[in-house]
Amino acid sequence: MPTARYLTAAFYRFVDLPDYAQRRPALLDLCLQRQVKGIVLLAREGINSTIAGAPNDVHAVLAYLRADPAFATLVHKESWSDTAPFHRMKVRLKKEIVTMGVPGISPTTGAGAYVKPQDWNALISDPNVVVVDMRNDYEVAIGTFAGALDPRIKTFSELPAWAAQAPALQAREGKKPKVAMFCTGGIRCEKSTALLRAQGFEEVFHLEGGILKYLETVPEAHSLWRGECFVFDERVSVGHGLQPGAHQLCRCCRQPLPEGALESPEFELGVSCPRCFATSTPAQKDSARERQRQWLLAKARAQTHIGRVAGDGVAREH
């Protein structure tokens, strides 16, 4: 039995929810009553969420969701931490639970074939398979599977344009290649494989449960994963066995600090890093300095300061 205080549950499900807006009040009320924190995205196409709290409270929220026929088969992934991964609870209404921006793509009917973690190594070791990392460039930079293509995208909505022109995805002798895709928890791959199938790709696969499930179940000695996996909460990154990684977070851009960042003159704790220094104005930097000052004061008083923190962003991946 884990000794850590906080249970984090990550989950998503693509399902038609015409009444998604009406589902928000009751779900938010339950989470607040149970002191469960995190982010839930609701859209016509389904639900995407990461929540954390005391184990009994998190499981109460999951039980509430599974009592609804739309979420009866909801699958979640668990991890544990000694500190709270989130500081707020938000339930947001969105156009998409993961934004691609291509109308008519339906993961519920068009997604590629799942490949279980224990079978993934054999698939991506096949020289005839094009392996694609579906995550943003800063995520790929700290870890990926050996030999995987990096589309070098900054947002998921850039993927369709990349896929349309990527040399590795072009047909040869009239036949499109076999493609294997992966992401943090699987949600992006549901849409990206559906996109490729809609474009005529016949053999499209994706890692069931994503990188997180692979790191949880495949022994490190047999692993083809290299580096760490970025996660959108206070852990920042995880490694094999989902153990917390060594990466730190820039509190301004909420991305992992690049190598050598702490020695850079563009790094200022809580204010900027080499990746984002040029994108924030002097006024924004001053605001960040004040936020950092308030956080340090709250820490000295053993209080919780609710500022802009890693776990308060969008539930992008599961």
Phi and psi torsions of 3, nearest 5°: -95, -10
Q: Spell out the CATH class of 107-227.
A: alpha beta
The full set of domain ranges for the chain reads 6-97, 107-227, 248-300
Residue 311 confidence (pLDDT): 37
Query: Residue 302 has what pLDDT?
Result: 67
What percent of the chain is helix, strand and coil (3-state, nearest 5)? Answer: 35, 20, 45
State residue 3's pLDDT score: 64
pLDDT tens series, the chain, 318 aa: 456 689 999 899 999 999 999 999 999 999 999 999 999 999 999 999 999 999 999 999 999 999 999 999 999 988 888 888 888 999 999 999 999 999 888 898 889 999 999 999 999 999 999 999 999 999 999 999 999 999 999 999 999 999 999 999 999 988 999 999 999 989 999 999 999 999 999 999 999 999 999 999 999 999 999 999 998 777 888 899 888 888 888 888 888 888 888 899 999 988 999 989 998 899 999 988 998 888 788 777 766 555 544 333 344 454
Task: Decide which of 3.30.70.100, 3.40.50.2000, 3.80.30.20, 3.40.50.1860 is the CATH code for 6-97.
Answer: 3.30.70.100
172: DSSP letter: B
Would you state the pLDDT for residue 308? 45
d(CA 38, CA 17): 21
Crossing angle of the two packed helices 55-66 and 20-33, in degrees rounded to 10: 160
Work out whether the CA dihedral 236, 240, 246, 247 comes out positive or negative: negative
Of the residues 183, 189, 229, 273, only one is catalytic, namely 183
The pLDDT of residue 304: 58
pLDDT at 234: 73
Question: Is 183 a catalytic site residue?
Answer: yes
